[in-house]
Structure 1
Amino acid sequence: MFNETQMVDFFHVHVVPWMMRIGVALTIFVIGQLVAKVISGVIAKLLSHTKLDKILIDFLSSVVRALLLVVVIVAALDKLGVNTNSLIAMLGAAGIAIGLALQSSLQNFAAGFMLLIFRPFKAGDFVETAGTSGIIDSIGIFSTKLYTGDNKEVIIPNGSIYSSNIINYSSRKTRRIDMIFGVSYGDDIRLAKDIILKVISDEERVLKDPAPEVAVGELAQSSVNFVVRPWVKAEDYWAVKFAINEKIKLAFDENKITIPFPTVVNIKKEQ
């Protein structure tokens, strides 16, 4: 049994130092958390004045806070006498193992990071990428969500997007509509050209500058092909294209201009 003197000595030699270590460790942990929160908040506020996406700002702020918390935890454990060198080595080994296991996810993460920084497209843009075309709904860290013209939702891994071509149809305010209309060789091509020009000039959504282009593009096997290239606002592209197709066909019919089409000749074998 310990006598009173031994109990006092034990308390001073063992308990007091451990209590002090625990107190210091807790102080480091609590203050470290507050400092990490403040620093991550300052970084988020500074980045909010840039052109970076909010998703990327929140992510960077979270990463900074997580890294600072790791430093705080290691410092607190060091005050408790824990061998932090071994802990750091274990964390490093675990990080390598997790990285190898999540290689594809990390690739998508890195690609998402680059997409959010360089911003080749934004929400609402109509794009064609990774074999899919549609309107961008949201850009995440690991994947991008878009919906197609028939309102199907498509989720594409960011790695697939970043490794393929990206065609952004909404990045420019204007677009050129490229169309080809063929007329028969027996028709008056000057009349056909005048009809096309009139249809285009009557369409209010066609821009005057740049001026639309109408020219004989090819003397094909069975038709004279006109190249028709009007310019429109990006949002009017499909509506104007459909309207011009219909109006030119109706105008050709009214003026007896023939649009050639393939014919099938049936050859009967003699018995």
Structure 2
Amino acid sequence: MNLENIDAEKWLDLGLEYGLKIIGAILIWIVGSWIIKKLVNTSRKLMAKGDYDQGLQSFLLSLISWGLKILLIVTILPTIGIPITTFAAIIGAAGLAIGLALQGSLANFAGGVLILLFKPFKVGDYITGSGESGTVKEIKIFTTELATPQNRKVIVPNGPLSNSNITNYSANELIRLDMVVGVSYDDDIKKTKEVLMNVLTSNPKVLKDPAPMVAVTELADSSVNFAVRGWVKNSDYWDVHFENTEAIKLQLDAAGIEIPYPHSVEIQKQA
């Protein structure tokens, strides 16, 4: 008997057996991935028709995609000779280690769920949270994507974000623009108030109701400070801010009202 022939036949049989299993697993993965893609696309269309929040859509679609992929992997394992019971035992044994290693990720997942449940913000809102500011572009399973005013992409973990103080500048339709203007002590208060109020009332983007307000807010070391406040639509905030800043300087100059600035004082020692 030729031992080499026996070994060759043994390896050929093993190759055929496992080769067919691997080919079958690949085919199942290809077909399963195609089905998952179709299911995710169908879910996306149904959510769009149901007028779901965009952030919730993104979160649920990611969850559905990952859940189906895990189910597909569990389905493929028996075809390559790995029993599901063995796989479950391995997962169970590694569960503690995985849980400890993924504490941050699990916290981020929980944070994402809390954000979508309580909705402190939605896609399109401008927020400040976890030390970052920007427009919310996408709420994912583990992270939230922001775009800064400079159009920089910022990825914020959902765990710290959900546990931080969140300021949502887009939550309300109207927002108050607060400015502080300091003028010289030598200038007339009533005249200054008239000039500043004229800046507010002459800007069509500053609302008449609620009414704008100008008031003396502080007698500072080198200036009398005025609070200049007007209500605007959220979308007009920065336009009005820049327009009023320029108009205040121009109109105060035209009225002969001085905006003081620090002067260096040279102190001479007496001999």
For the superposition of Structure 1 and Structure 2, which TM-score range results when normalised by the shorter chain?
Answer: 0.7 to 0.9
Match of 2:58 in 1: 55
Counterpart of 1:267 in structure 2 is 267
Whether contact under 8 Å (1:112, 1:159) holds in the other structure is yes
Instruction: Tell me by how many angstroms 1:221 deviates.
Output: 2.6
- Equivalent residue of 2:243, what SS? helix
Query: Where does residue 116 of structure 2 map in the other structure?
Result: 116
Count of residues in correspondence between the two structures: 237
The 8 Å contact of residues 187 and 258 in structure 1, kept in 2 or not, is answered as: yes
Structure 1 counterpart SS, 2:240: helix
Question: TM-score, normalising length from structure 1?
Answer: 0.72
Give me the CA root mean square deviation.
3.4
- Inter-partner Cα distance in structure 2 for 1:214 and 1:195: 10
Q: Aligned with 2:106: secondary structure?
A: helix
- Alpha carbons of structure 1 residues 189 and 72: separation in structure 2 relative to 1, 3 Å: same
**Identity percentage of aligned residues:** 46
Contact 2:185 2:224 in 1 (8 A): yes
Which structure 1 segments of 5+ residues have no match?
1-32
Alignment partners' CA distance in 2, 1:235 and 1:44:
29
TM-score normalized with structure 2 length = 0.72
State the alpha-carbon separation in 2 of the partners of residues 190 and 174 from structure 1.
29
> Which string of whole-angstrom CA distances, capped at 9 and with x for unpartnered residues, describes residues 1-52 of structure 1?
xxxxxxxxxxxxxxxxxxxxxxxxxxxxxxxx9xx98xx8899898774745
Distance 1:158 1:261 in 2: 44
Q: Secondary structure at the match of 1:208?
A: coil
CA distance in 1, matches of 2:218, 2:96: 61
CA contact (8 A) 1:137 1:146 kept: yes
In structure 1, give the amino acid aligned to 2:179. Answer: M
Q: Which amino acid aligns with 2:217?
A: G
Query: Deviations for 1:117-150, whole angstroms, at most 9, x for unmatched residues?
Result: 3332222221111111111222211112212122
The AA in structure 2 aligned to 1:144 is T
Matched residue type, 2:59:
L
Q: Which runs of 5+ in 2 are unaligned?
A: 1-31
Query: 1:67: Cα distance to partner?
Result: 7.7
After TM superposition, the structure 1 = structure 2 runs for residues 73-84 of structure 1, keeping only pairs within 5 Å, are none
Relative to structure 1, the CA distance from residue 213 to residue 160 in structure 2 (aligned partners, 3 Å threshold; closer, same or farther) is same
**Residue aligning to 1:250:** 250
Alignment of 1:219-234 (within 5 A): 219-234=219-234
SS at match of 1:177: strand
Q: Assess if the C-alpha contact under 8 Å between 2:44 and 2:57 holds in 1.
A: no
